[in-house]
Amino acid sequence: MKLSHRGKPFLSLETRIVLLAVGLFCAGLSVVGIVTQATVLSPYIEQLGDKAMSIARTVASIPDIVENVGKPGAESIIQPLADGIRKKTDVEFVVVMDSRSVRYSHPVPERIGKTFVGGDEGPALQGKEYISNSIGTLGPSMRAFVPIIRGGKVVGAVSVGILIKDIKAMQMKLLRNLFIALILGLFVSIIGARFLAKSIKKEIKGLEPYQITRLLMERETILNSIREGILACDSGGRISLLNEQAQKLLNLNGSAIGKHVSDVFPKTKVMDVIKTGQPIVDREARIGSRRLMVSTVPLKEGNRIVGAISSFRDMTEFEALAEELTGVKRFVDALRVRTHEFLNKLHTILGLIHLGETERAIAYISDIITDQRESYSFITRKIKNPFVGGLLIGKFGRCKELGIKFNIDPDSYLGNTSQVETNALVTIIGNLLENAIQAVMHIEKERRVIDFAIFEESGKIIISVRDTGHGIPEEYLDRIFEKGFSMREEGQGIGLFNVKEIVDIYGGEISVESKVGCFTEFVVTLTSGGQ
């Protein structure tokens, strides 16, 4: 199916999926960076400050430093101690100063004896501990200050520093790692997004969203414009699609989507189709007063059955035409039989006249007229349905032509207002009588007898057909209603199957009694009102 490209978006579905995946990844990584900054970097800087403060406290409590700070020549004692601690603790500097801010230790020995640079040491010389950020001789640094107390008096201070450039270097390293992760993540996300996009495109048969929308609109229009009901369900029997005609034919007021098919359409064989995978074509079913013709096929995905689709149509509107066609056919059959029969009789009459047997010819004609009038008059009086009556007249003539005695029970009766469709009655009676004719036409002529009876009483129709043929072996009695089974080589095995189908639709019963070499009798009971 080709689709118009009007309304086609600028970007394809695959491109949009890739861009969306990449965008989501970048947004996610940005969030990770912010969280990392807040949860990793800040606590790390705080830990560095705590480390510097701890080292400063340790240095400020060393006895040699406490005793010698502020004294002439003390740098020779203090410098080795402070510088050794600096090297072991991996900090940038450990500076010990006296109360005048004169250094007694420094990573650069030449700066010992000079005044401390930064201007933030004042509070420490007043006895306070704190962390400060300032610019010294080594550059911007974060430094911890701890006062040196001797004899209860502040005699100096210790400053332990970590250069800001080291912190920034660590930040840059973190950002560099995040950037590398971003590049690798983008590469992976693009590959993954393309794989996802191709998988989605494969699932939707390569269609773009606008094409799917167009298909859905076309499907809705098509489904609701056809005169057949369409019902689809999943493998569990839950209805997934129902067009407007189906809702009308099934007498559904609300939506039936999601309901089980057996609750909405109990007469169909949808679940059998799902279980077996075998389609059912043109099977009759009744919903209320409607007679439907249903076809159900399995819905497959590869070799797996994922559901079923049923299509059904109301046979009521076709009933009149079917009955009319059936009546015409029966009329033609009756005419054919009667034409053949009367030709034989005319030949007989002509022969009698040529022989001069006028009296006998007159008597023969009178017998024919009386016999025909009685037979046809009986059928038309007892059988009010003209189509069934025409069928019986046709079968009566055929039996006479084949030398078969066709007896109709004198108590038989069928009205013309039965709620059982005429086509159903014609199918049942026609098939049973045809089977009976086939059963007796090859036996001795004196034994060729068919007994027929039909009764309508108490809301039921009872049909009986008995023949004196060879009978049905007991091992075949359970199979005679199977589709395709036939005891005759030329048989198709359809007639009795159709009879059983119609009987089941009307919730009726069919029984068979047979004795090999003697007789076979079928009795069908239908509820006049149907199910």
Tell me whether strands 304-314 and 290-301 are parallel, antiparallel or unpaired: antiparallel
pLDDT in tens, 25-50: 777 777 776 776 666 566 677 777 88
CATH assignment of 228-314, given 3.30.300.30, 3.30.70.3450, 1.10.510.10, 3.30.450.20?
3.30.450.20
Same fold, 7-225 and 228-314: yes
| Residues 122, 99 contacting (CB under 8 angstroms) | no
Class of domain 7-225: alpha beta
Quote the CA–CA distance of 242 and 285 in Å, as a whole number.
Answer: 18
pLDDT of residue 197: 72
Q: Which helix (H) or strand (E) element contains residue 242? A: strand 239-242
Checking if the pLDDT of 5 tops 50, the result is no
Q: How confident is the model at residue 199 (pLDDT cuts 50, 70, 90)?
A: confident
CA 190 – CA 204 distance, rounded (Å) = 21
Residue pair 513/520 in contact (Cβ under 8 Å)? The answer is: yes
Ordered DSSP codes for 315-348 = SHHHHHHHHHHHHHHHHHHHHHHHHHHHHHHHHH
Q: Regarding predicted confidence, which is higher, 89 or 175?
A: 89
Write the DSSP symbol of residue 448.
Answer: -
DSSP assignments along 466-494, one per residue: EE-SS---GGGTTTTTSTT--SSTT--S-
List alpha helices for 106-154, DSSP H: 122-125
Average pLDDT over residues 248-254: 73
- CATH no. for 318-527: 3.30.565.10
d(CA 81, CA 62): 9
Q: Is the pLDDT of residue 467 over 90?
A: yes
The more confidently predicted of residues 259 and 137 is 259
What is d(CA 143, CA 41) in angstroms, rounded to the nearest whole number? 18
Confidence category of residue 129, pLDDT binned at 50, 70, 90: very high
Would you say residue 472 has pLDDT above 80? Answer: yes
Q: Is the pLDDT of residue 406 over 50?
A: yes
Residue 210 has a pLDDT of 65
The secondary structure of residue 531, as a DSSP letter, is: -
Residue for token digits 């993540």? Answer: 185
Residues 6 or more apart whose CB falls under 8 angstroms from that of 310 comprise 229, 230, 231, 232, 265, 268, 270, 294, 295, 296
For position 96, what pLDDT does the model report? Answer: 92
- Terminal CA-to-CA distance of the chain, rounded, Å? 43
Name the range with the highest mean pLDDT among 208-217, 352-361, 476-485: 476-485
Q: What is the rounded average pLDDT of the residues 329-356?
A: 64
**Residue 278: pLDDT over 80:** yes
User: Cα–Cα distance between 404 and 93 in angstroms, integer?
Assistant: 131
Region for residue 189 given its phi and psi (left: phi exceeds 0; alpha: psi -120 to 50; beta: otherwise): alpha
Q: pLDDT tier at 520 (50, 70, 90 boundaries)?
A: very high
Q: Where are the domains of the chain?
A: 7-225, 228-314, 318-527
Instruction: Report the range of poorest mean pLDDT among 92-106, 128-142, 455-469.
Output: 128-142
